[in-house]
Amino acid sequence: MTMTSETVAAAIAAWSGLSEAEQARVFRAFKRDEREQLFLGLRAAEQAVLLLRMPVHERLTYFRVLPPDDAADVVQQAPAEERPRLLELLDDVARAEVKALLAYAEDDAGGLMNPRFARLRPEMTVDEAISYLRLQSRRMETVYYAYVLDAEQRLQGVVSFRDLFTADGRALVSQVMNPHVISVGEQTDQEEVARLFASEDLSAIPVVDEAGRMKGIVTVDDIVDVVQEEATEDIQKFGGMEALDDPYLETGFWQMVRKRGGWLAALFLGEMLTATAMSHYEEEIARAVVLAVFIPLIISSGGNSGSQASTLIVRAMALAEVRLRDWWKVARREVASGLALGGLLASIGFLRILVWQAVGQTYGEHYLLIGATVALSLVGVVLFGTLAGSMLPFVLRRVGFDPASASAPFVATMVDVTGLVIYFTTANLILRGTLL
């Protein structure tokens, strides 16, 4: 929570690169008070490993310094058979709190929140509130915002410490509090919570149950981690695999192969359609082998433009910059982009064929027709790639899937088959009677 010395900071930074035995040794090398700082600076999974390697009597010292939300994370990261023993280390109040938190899903507001927050009654005076908070402050993660609750624990308003500080001491809390509080429900997804923090510039959000009773607060320092995690998940889905959940070097080999192999095999099955499509055009290739030469160039252009478009839309959706109802606006824009980008590649491709022909007579007497076929196919393929890549995230979201599954490899696979069809159809139109 607070400040750490530089050697402790260096140890934290290097932590994930160390073996478990090395971690234990490094931990021991620090002085007592620095050990606590070091322990607090680690991620929950690392804290769990370290705790379980300590002698039982030491575990208590470090485990009890964690606020209940962090303690719950550690318990969640420990192997199932160790969990009861960790819970026993806590005092009765803390154990009850941690158990309550464990009932929430890890990635909703209830799983993120801290049940210890500063609470005030509306009928207190400002001076009473300040002394009351002074008493509470040792037990709280933050006293900088205090929440005003009625007798039924329903949230009435919020007051910052700073507001109390600058108010008249005899005023009532209900007079200085802000009654407009943004709150979230216990089941609100952490991604939604992170978006609220970012868009509203908040430092804490209260979590309330369905009856409006306040259950805890989520603070902004918990959210920085969430934003990082969610971006990592999106990026990994984007690379065409399941999200790993753990850091790369800490993920088991077979677990990683499974998460990559599943998508890779699925993409491979989809890509098999290209073999089917190609069989269909074997006769054309046999008659004009030169057509085969441009196949990788053309289908990859479709894949690249498609992955650009889907990246843009998936990310814009994740940041709520683009919503479902914007699909038509996006489609029009992407048709225009597709034509412009397709035109650009078509010109480069056509020029390339002219130059090669001038230098080496590579493409025979029909080089202009070949050039036209390649150029026209490029416009078609890039246009299709752009449109498919930008619309796929909308379709996925509409049917309830995560738009981030519209990964670069997924889009490329989808576009490859169509690219072949576009290319050979164009060739049949332009080259019929000459090469074909």
Residues of this chain, 372-431, that bind a second copy according to CB under 8 A: 382, 407-409, 412-413, 416, 420
Residue 138: CB minimum distance to a second copy, A: 6
Structure tokens at 152: 């039924």
CB 377 within 8 A of CB 384: no
Give yes or no for residue 71 binding a second copy (CB under 8 A). Answer: no
Helices 20-29 and 32-41 sit at what angle, rounded to 10 degrees? 140
CB 218 within 8 A of CB 204: yes
Give yes or no for residue 122 binding a second copy (CB under 8 A). Answer: no
Q: Please list, in sequence order, all residues whose beta carbon lies within 8 angstroms of the beta carbon of residue 251, skipping any fewer than 6 positions away.
A: 244, 245
Residue 250: CB minimum distance to a second copy, A: 8
User: Under rule CB under 8 A, how many of the chain's residues touch a second copy?
Assistant: 127
Name which of 83 and 125 has its Cβ closer to a second copy. Answer: 125
Residue 2: CB minimum distance to a second copy, A: 6
Q: Which of 26, 89, 172, 198 binds a second copy (CB under 8 A)?
A: 198
Name which of 74 and 87 has its Cβ closer to a second copy. Answer: 74
Which of the residues 9 through 28 are near a second copy (CB under 8 A)? 9, 12-13, 16-17
Q: Of the ranges 18-26, 74-82, 98-106, 241-249, which one interacts with a second copy (CB under 8 A)?
A: 241-249
Residue 435: CB minimum distance to a second copy, A: 14
Q: Which of 11, 23, 27, 40 binds a second copy (CB under 8 A)?
A: 40
Give yes or no for residue 352 binding a second copy (CB under 8 A). Answer: yes
Q: Which of 308, 373, 405, 426 binds a second copy (CB under 8 A)?
A: 308
Which of the residues 132 through 161 are near a second copy (CB under 8 A)? 134, 137-138, 143-144, 158, 160-161
Give yes or no for residue 348 binding a second copy (CB under 8 A). Answer: yes
Dist CA 205 CA 158 (whole Å): 10
Residue 64: CB minimum distance to a second copy, A: 18
Name which of 9 and 54 has its Cβ closer to a second copy. Answer: 9
Residue 207: CB minimum distance to a second copy, A: 15
Name which of 171 and 316 has its Cβ closer to a second copy. Answer: 316
Name which of 187 and 203 has its Cβ closer to a second copy. Answer: 203
Which of the residues 280 through 299 are near a second copy (CB under 8 A)? 282, 285-286, 289-290, 292-297, 299
Residue 46: CB minimum distance to a second copy, A: 11
Q: Of the ranges 184-192, 331-339, 393-401, 427-435, which one interacts with a second copy (CB under 8 A)?
A: 331-339
Q: State residue 244 phi and psi, 5-degree precision.
A: -75, -30
Pairing, β 145-149 against β 155-160: antiparallel
Q: Which of 28, 201, 210, 211 binds a second copy (CB under 8 A)?
A: 201
Residue 359: CB minimum distance to a second copy, A: 12
Residue of 415, 414, 413, 436 lying closest to 426 (CA atoms): 436
Give yes or no for residue 220 binding a second copy (CB under 8 A). Answer: yes
Chain position carrying tokens 């609100």: 188
Residue 81: CB minimum distance to a second copy, A: 28
Name which of 24 and 273 has its Cβ closer to a second copy. Answer: 273
Residue 176: CB minimum distance to a second copy, A: 12
